[in-house]
Structure 1
């Protein structure tokens, strides 16, 4: 999935730039802004949103991003998963607030230190 995400990201950047990258990044040097969400963050956010229907305004503070950034990341992740033949199925339990997620993890026996 990481390779598919890297290809998706490069295609998005290529489209945004309107062509190929003008200058190759220097090895080991800071070459731009830090990415807000890692692939794992994106996948977890997409699962929380798609599977449990947790609202994006509730999920966004967990990753210290804006709901707009989170919406874009979830959309990209959903396309990525669809492209590799995966879909996130909705759960029977739908969540509306973060406390419901905490209660669900406690009910499932997941220690709070792992969240």
Structure 2
């Protein structure tokens, strides 16, 4: 598995979540056992554009930076670790449910991507 593939896998996952956030935010929130309301759904739709942008950036990154891909890979590894820390904090304080769907669907990808980005960016 190459670092370029890790970027593309991240792009695919971000695109799936971004499109879900844009087209059906209530269903996405319900899938993670998060209470839905109109304000949260509208905020999610707005944030979906950022997630879709990250997906596009992740997809294009191997083409854009060429030989400097490892330095960008380390940034994304750290980004996943920071997001992981925030998610664990939110689960520990009860802001976000800490059930199986969230542990696997929220923390799981960040753990995997952090490991892959660190491993492939050394």
If the length of structure 1 is used for normalisation, what is the TM-score?
0.28
Name the larger-Rg structure.
1
If the length of structure 2 is used for normalisation, what is the TM-score?
0.27
* Larger proportion of helix: 2
Higher RCO (Cα < 8 Å, 6 or more apart): 2
